[in-house]
Amino acid sequence: MVAKLKAIKAELQRRKHDRVAEVGGWLRKVVLGYYQYHAVPGNTTLPSIFKIRVCRLWQSVLVRRSQRAEMRWGRLTPVLNRWIPPPRVLHSYPDARFYATHPS
């Protein structure tokens, strides 16, 4: 997770002055891909932590975009809710998946 967050941080800094919709769409794809791999039963905390850290990284980049007032969480929360999906378990338990393909 640390390596992925470092890569996201570097890419966010590169995309700092892009439109929020472009960066939000890109982050949505990244977060959904992470959920696709890690959102298995019994592992609900890791995707939640990943989402929180991605939100903090994006907030820190948005604050540094201009010399205007800070981007407070009250203004940022609707943006995050629009672009970053909530974590949820995407896969069933392994024994249920195995039984679906190999009933006996």
pLDDT tens digits, one per residue of 37-51? 998 888 889 999 999
Q: How confident is the model at residue 24 (pLDDT cuts 50, 70, 90)?
A: very high
Q: How confident is the model at residue 66 (pLDDT cuts 50, 70, 90)?
A: confident
pLDDT tens digits, one per residue of 67-98? 776 778 888 899 999 999 999 888 877 776 66
pLDDT value, residue 97: 64
- Provide the 10 A C-beta neighbour count for residue 78: 9
pLDDT value, residue 56: 94
Count how many residues are written for the chain: 104
Q: What are phi and psi of 71, to 5 degrees?
A: -90, 100
